[in-house]
């Protein structure tokens, strides 16, 4: 029999000790449980290998990642985040969360494509994973846990802890404590802020869907476009639009030109735009708290100008992004959840109904573009942080998605896709460049021609 090396034995003993310590801690207190928020109920029902419902937020540092210290950082930070230290359970009427007393998932070098489905039984029952590649730390989260704001919270604290281990001088007086700006709030803000409603707020009419040859099974395309915010603001000011309105409109313009070739269509191009509800309802929850609005353009005549497309997009978003309408959107869903019939129905019946509703709403959108905003880091860590990125997994009928985030003066628009043809991406960046914004493009190369 082949003998283990002394290094391997040493590592195994350390892992065994770590597991025993965590089991001892969990055995001395009652295991807690928690309800899923209103939006989270959907994700376990529809998630699978082909539609993972996993998003990624990553941070690029100025130094190569040291995996052993990243694992230590995760071991220290995870017990402080009740919202990540969870596993998913299936009850008779609902899914629910239960505290996970197992060791933190193993930090691994990235060797596969992003946003893959997370199998809890291969991940110590956790619903997130941490990987690294050269200078980059990746956090991938099953959306049932939290939305992008909750993911940023966790990734920043993980990064801070990692940098304190690499550079002990950063510890200062606070040691390994979380920063004061990091929320641990687990309020269900949907439930707190909803108003009884019977009016459906989401779209169900079918939209134009982007189709074509797919990448090889398992492949996942990523393309980043880097832009300087001052240049982008100048262009947006010229058009009288916000950065978000402009970028969504450019995407719709690209689909219109590259897929419809400027001709009329029976179906509209409709882009789902998630809106962070926290600023509208004074919430600091780390559970999901967002609503979906839709930017729509329906070409019913020959040849529209970009200005016409932008005007339509701008008007549709302005009409929807206000507190009254956002409240209506999520109140309909919460009201349905609270009906006696919904509460009494067994889980398998609820799952069937949710799949039907999801399919209707998913096919009502051409794509999804989410903007997680400007990410800031505490001053002490700024010299070590180069950039943030984010991307979304594919969903039913949507084979190309966009994600926007910025850090310091740089904004990055990231495409995720599983289509072999990259003409939409090229048309998107070509339009922005034509408007006077310098763009640097980076890709994972799945569809180099």
Average pLDDT over residues 278-293: 96
The contacts of residue 391 (CB under 8 Å, 6+ apart) are 55, 56, 114, 115, 222, 401, 403, 414, 416
Q: What is the DSSP string of 148-214?
A: HHHHHHHHHHHHHHHHHHH-GGG-TTTTTPPPTT-------HHHHH--------S--S-------PB
Predicted confidence (pLDDT) per residue in 200-221, tens digit: 666 678 999 999 999 998 899 9
pLDDT at residue 352, rounded to an integer: 87
Cα(320)–Cα(314) distance, integer angstroms: 10
Q: Is the dihedral of CA 377, 381, 383, 385 positive or negative?
A: negative
- Tell me, what DSSP letter sits at residue 4? P
Higher pLDDT, 34 or 175: 34
Average pLDDT over residues 102-123: 96
pLDDT at residue 16, rounded to an integer: 54
Mapping DSSP to helix (H, G, I), strand (E, B) and coil, where does residue 386 land?
strand
Q: Do 98 and 33 form a contact (C-beta atoms < 8 A)?
A: yes
- Tell me, what DSSP letter sits at residue 334? H
> What strand order describes the sheet that includes 400-407?
290-297, 269-276, 367-375, 400-407, 410-417, 221-228, 439-443
**pLDDT at 4 exceeding the cut of 50:** no
**pLDDT at 448 exceeding the cut of 60:** no
Cα(196)–Cα(422) distance, integer angstroms: 44
pLDDT at residue 31, rounded to an integer: 67
Q: Do 410 and 227 form a contact (C-beta atoms < 8 A)?
A: yes
Higher pLDDT, 440 or 361: 440
Q: How confident is the model at residue 312 (pLDDT cuts 50, 70, 90)?
A: very high
Alpha carbon 135 to its chain's center: 21
Which pairing describes strands 108-109 and 95-99: parallel, antiparallel, or unpaired?
unpaired
Cα(262)–Cα(270) distance, integer angstroms: 16
Q: How confident is the model at residue 8 (pLDDT cuts 50, 70, 90)?
A: very low
Q: What is the DSSP string of 173-184?
A: TTTTPPPTT---
The per-residue pLDDT of the chain, averaged, comes to 90
Cα(438)–Cα(441) distance, integer angstroms: 10
Cα(389)–Cα(382) distance, integer angstroms: 16
Q: Do 375 and 407 form a contact (C-beta atoms < 8 A)?
A: yes
Predicted confidence (pLDDT) per residue in 365-404, tens digit: 999 999 999 999 999 999 999 999 999 999 999 999 999 9
Q: Do 130 and 105 form a contact (C-beta atoms < 8 A)?
A: yes
- Tell me, what DSSP letter sits at residue 3? P
């Amino acid at each position: 029999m082949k003998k283990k090396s002394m290094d391997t034995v040493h590592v195994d003993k350390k892992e065994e000790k770590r597991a025993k310590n965590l089991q001892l801690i969990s055995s001395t207190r009652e295991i807690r449980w928690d309800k899923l928020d209103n939006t989270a109920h959907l994700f376990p029902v529809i998630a699978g290998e082909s539609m993972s419902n996993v998003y990624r937020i990553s941070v690029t540092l100025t130094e190569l990642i040291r995996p052993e210290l990243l694992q230590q950082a995760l071991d220290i930070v995870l017990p402080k985040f009740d919202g990540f230290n969870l596993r998913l359970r299936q009850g008779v009427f609902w899914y629910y969360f239960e505290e996970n007393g197992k060791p933190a998932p193993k930090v691994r070098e990235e060797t596969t494509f992003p946003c893959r489905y997370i199998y809890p039984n291969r991940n110590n029952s956790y619903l997130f994973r941490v990987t690294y590649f050269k200078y980059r730390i990746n956090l991938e989260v099953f959306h049932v846990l939290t939305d992008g704001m909750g993911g940023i919270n966790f990734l920043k604290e993980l990064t801070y802890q990692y940098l304190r281990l690499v550079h002990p001088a950063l510890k200062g007086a606070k040691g390994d404590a979380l920063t004061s700006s990091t929320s641990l709030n687990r309020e269900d803000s949907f439930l707190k802020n909803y108003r009884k409603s019977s009016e459906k707020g989401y779209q169900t009419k079918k939209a134009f869907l982007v189709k074509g040859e797919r990448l090889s099974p398992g492949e996942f395309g990523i393309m980043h476009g880097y832009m300087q915010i001052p240049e982008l603001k100048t262009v947006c000011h010229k058009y009288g639009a916000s950065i978000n309105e402009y970028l969504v409109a450019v995407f719709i313009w690209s689909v219109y030109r590259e897929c419809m070739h400027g001709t009329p269509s029976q179906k509209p191009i409709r882009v789902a735009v998630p809106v962070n509800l926290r600023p509208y309802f004074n919430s600091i929850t780390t559970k999901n708290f967002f609503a979906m609005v839709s930017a729509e353009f329906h070409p019913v005549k020959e040849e529209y100008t970009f200005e016409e497309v932008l005007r339509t997009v701008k008007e549709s978003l302005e009409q929807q992004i206000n507190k009254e309408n956002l409240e209506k959107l999520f109140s309909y869903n919460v009201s349905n959840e609270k009906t006696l019939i919904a509460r009494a129905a067994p889980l398998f019946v609820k799952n069937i109904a949710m799949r039907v509703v999801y399919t209707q709403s998913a096919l009502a959108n051409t794509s999804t573009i989410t903007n997680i905003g400007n990410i800031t880091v505490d001053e002490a860590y700024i010299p070590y942080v180069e950039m943030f990125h984010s991307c979304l997994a594919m969903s039913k009928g949507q084979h190309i998605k966009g994600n926007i985030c910025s850090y310091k003066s740089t904004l990055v628009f990231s495409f995720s896709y599983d289509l072999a043809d990259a003409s939409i991406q090229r048309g998107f960046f070509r339009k922005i460049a034509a408007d006077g914004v310098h763009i640097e493009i980076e890709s994972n190369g799945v569809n180099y021609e």
